[in-house]
């Protein structure tokens, strides 16, 4: 195991936990019921201001490890099977319990194309284009690479902040172009930044500072009655981008010694994407939080703390389900590998891989 691998996997766990808590606040209708301008209202946005990095960091992790790695179509197939499994299984359970429509069935069978999960759909596009991004990154000089990143940041982040129009095909940072930019940015961090302990502290300081400035923008939006100031909570805002880069650099340079807990971190991190697929399926995303009566405690003094605690429970439960799914797939996979269909599948995948050799 590489020395810093556990660092990055710890970041993966942290980001997914941020996502789960954010979903509790919004899909659980906690934030919507908080008194406008109350302590709990700002406390919820305090969490969101520090959590705005979660999706960006998830994408940067993918880019960091894939930018100079040999393309393997098997990884994409494994990702697709995971998405389809949860999409179909959850749809079947809902069909037996409450009933589903024909559209729900089509979305379950084709979850990527139908954007059943928006992140999975965009991430699939990124995975298919990633080898080309890697080729570009390895061919560019350091100076050319910096220029490319600067132009993309200007088009996709700064310009959008100033004019608030999606002139370059980006709106909130949920687009393929933004994911590609983040992957290239992670590649630059990997290829051209040194490992220095002081960067851990610099990164941490900038992350905290930029997150507090984002929180300040929310406070101004309340005081001035201008909701658009809270724009900095968008994934592609300059402050969110700065916060993401700072946290990523901080984690990259975190002093870390291998220990007995590393294998636990890697195990939990390996189930992180499954946590998202389980709890945020559109057929159950509101029912999950209604089960914990999240909206019922929205006006209590401990509403936000309750959301954080419930987030731990949901995360742990979904992790156990995903680990069980992985065990099931390993058992079925050992049988499937002996079939003729598997051999045909591997031949096709090998042909695809040879395109990028």
pLDDT digits 0-9 by tens, 19-63: 999 999 999 988 888 877 778 888 898 999 999 999 999 999 999
Place of tokens 């596009």: 125
Between 272-279 and 303-336, two packed helices, what is the crossing angle to 10 degrees?
Answer: 110
With vertex at residue 277, the alpha carbon angle to CA 107 and CA 44, rounded to the nearest 5 degrees, is 115
Helix (H, G, I), strand (E, B) or coil at 306: helix
Question: Is the four-CA dihedral 199, 202, 205, 211 of positive or negative sign?
Answer: negative
Which of 30-34, 238-242, 290-294 tops mean pLDDT? 238-242
Residues 209, 216: Cα–Cα separation, whole Å: 10
pLDDT in tens, 295-333: 888 878 888 899 999 999 999 999 999 999 999 999 999
Least confident range from 108-117, 213-222, 239-248: namely 213-222
- Where b means 16+ CB within 10 Å and e means fewer, 132-157 reads ebbebbeebeeeebeebbeebbebbb
pLDDT at 162: 84
Residues 309, 330: Cα–Cα separation, whole Å: 32
- Give yes or no for residue 224 having a pLDDT over 80: no
Residues 236, 238: Cα–Cα separation, whole Å: 6
Contact between residue 133 and residue 180 where contact means Cβ atoms under 8 Å apart: yes
DSSP letter for 35, please: P
CA distances, 213 to each of 19, 38, 230, 254, 307 (Å): 20, 19, 11, 24, 23
């Amino acid at each position: 195991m590489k020395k810093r691998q556990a660092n990055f996997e710890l970041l993966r766990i942290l980001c997914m936990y941020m996502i789960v808590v954010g979903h509790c606040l919004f899909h659980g209708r906690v934030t919507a019921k908080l008194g406008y301008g109350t302590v709990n209202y700002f406390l919820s946005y305090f969490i969101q201001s520090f959590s705005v990095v979660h999706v960006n960091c998830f994408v940067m992790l993918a880019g960091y490890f894939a930018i100079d790695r040999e393309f393997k179509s098997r990884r994409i197939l494994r990702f697709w099977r995971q998405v389809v499994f949860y999409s179909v299984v959850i749809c079947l359970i809902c069909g037996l319990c409450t009933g589903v429509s024909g559209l729900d069935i089509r979305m379950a069978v084709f979850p990527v194309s139908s954007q059943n999960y928006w992140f999975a759909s965009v991430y699939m596009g990124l995975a298919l284009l990633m080898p080309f991004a890697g080729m570009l990154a390895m061919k560019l000089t350091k100076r050319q690479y910096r220029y490319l990143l600067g132009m993309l940041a200007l088009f996709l982040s700064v310009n959008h902040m100033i004019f608030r129009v999606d002139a370059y095909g980006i709106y909130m940072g949920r687009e393929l172009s933004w994911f590609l930019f983040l992957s290239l940015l992670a590649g630059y961090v990997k290829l051209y930044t040194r490992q220095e302990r002081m960067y851990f502290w610099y990164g941490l300081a900038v992350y905290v500072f930029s997150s507090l400035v984002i929180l300040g923008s929310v406070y101004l939006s309340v005081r001035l009655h201008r909701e658009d100031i809270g724009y900095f909570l968008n994934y592609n805002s300059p402050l969110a981008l700065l916060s993401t880069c700072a946290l990523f650099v901080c984690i990259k340079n975190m002093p870390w010694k291998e220990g007995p807990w590393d294998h636990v971190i890697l195990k939990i991190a390996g189930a992180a994407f499954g946590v998202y697929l389980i709890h945020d399926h559109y057929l159950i995303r509101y029912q999950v939080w209604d089960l914990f009566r999240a909206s019922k405690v929205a006006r209590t003094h401990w509403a936000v703390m309750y959301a954080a605690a419930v987030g731990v429970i949901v995360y742990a439960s979904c992790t156990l389900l995903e680990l069980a799914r992985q065990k099931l797939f390993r058992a079925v996979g050992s049988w499937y590998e002996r079939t003729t269909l598997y051999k045909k599948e591997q031949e096709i995948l090998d042909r695809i891989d040879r395109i990028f050799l």
